[in-house]
Chain A
Amino acid sequence: MSELALHIPNGIIGIPTSLVFGLIAAIVVGVCVVAARRGLDERLVPLAGLATAFIFAAQMLNFPVAAGVSGHLLGGALAAALLGPWLGVLCVTVVIGVQALLFADGGVTALGMNVVNMAVISTFVAYGVIALALKILGRTRTGLTAAVFAASVAGVVAASAGFVLEFAIGGEAPQSLGEVAGAILSVHVLIGVGEGLITAVAVTAVALTRPDLVYALRGSRLLGTSLEKETV
């Protein structure tokens, strides 16, 4: 679960494309600030700050997958399920910005594209899938787990599809688009499955103890869970 196509560095996508995506990122993040403030007003800064600290911690959970390969979460679906799309985008954006400026992870010229892929596309797609799947599957424990799992896979794959799109517009490498798309999308389906398993269990664990904190459930508790279970 390394982040192969994510955290785009400098020099893989041309400057005009980078600037266009930088502009898109700035506009979407601006909209998210307004929308998140409507929901939280003056609580926004402390709550979003702590939620972002949590996403940091989630990304820091490096765990060995196989010899020499360790993985960590990307967190888009996690943020979408627990915090909702607006706050989720803000938190993941802050994480990406900090990683680029404080830890040199991801190119400065690619900041806009990284935000669009990992924060905007991944979070919005994941939230859309959760909302839809919860309607179809019902607000049960299994329903939530399945919805979050599907959302994580969709979110990760959509983020990598964002990279493929940017590469198609302004790529500075020789491979044909088909090869790039095939390789990247197939790798990210695998990454998405791993991410999905962990995110689904984590969100379900939160839903069983504090369903009010799961944005995707909008305050209602899961059907079929007794109060006894909730207070465990």
Chain B
Amino acid sequence: MLTFKKGLSRGIIYFLEIFVIVISIFPLLWVLISAFKTNGEILGNPLGLPSSISFDTFVHLFENYNFPQYFVNSLLAAGVSTAASLLFYAMGGYVLAKYKFPGRTLLFTLFTVTLLVPAHSKTQPIFTLIMQLGLFDNIWGVTLVYLSTGMAMSIFVLRAGFMAIPKSLDEAAIVDGAGFIRIFWSINLPLAKSALTTAGILMFLNNWNEYYYASLLTMSDSQRTLPIALSYFTSEFSYNYTQLFAALVIVVLPGIILYIFAQEQVQVSMASTGIKG
């Protein structure tokens, strides 16, 4: 009886593990395989394997459509905003962690409480702001909005990271005559590497994948990021299935590659999205 129970619970565990793996990978594999099939094969035999492997569709997409441009746009918007906001929030998190000054608690509370604001509820003011700045339909307008998206989480993670660095290091540096900037840049910043990676990965992934503001703030083809391009592409070319699937692969792949190379850090980052403000 006991062994039966043990076998049963083991069976349930393996079943659930397999279920998770299937639902997470199978749709992607299907997309990948379909990208190598012909239209006829996709319609006639959705479950089958492609008859031949050729990268012509991908080459075609890059040569005849603006995919290199979309890729660069995505990279610019996500990369620049992540680098800049990482620096800004590291500066903010650093002084919030290490110095006492009037208004410290108030500022920290204000910054982290922004976590409670649904990003979409501020749509109209942000739309109008970007219009007034003359950055509508411009990838830099999107980049500017992305600066703000990871604020609460980054300040929270980075402040905790700087707090973990012993104060005695700073004191020793002061005795040695180091200035404020040097103590921040050469002593604290290198030691906060893991907090910086956590916050950086999360912001980059979020901005790389962002759809809502990018779709609202851009119009013309040359300013689109990959997710936006994908949605236009599917409505314009809805009968060339091979191209649709290939475009999906191009959009999805960079995130997956980043994840493969930085698995541990991505998992830590994702878990910290649950940090309460």
Q: A and B: partners?
A: no
| Chain A positions near chain B (C-beta within 8 angstroms) | none
| Chain B positions near chain A (C-beta within 8 angstroms) | none
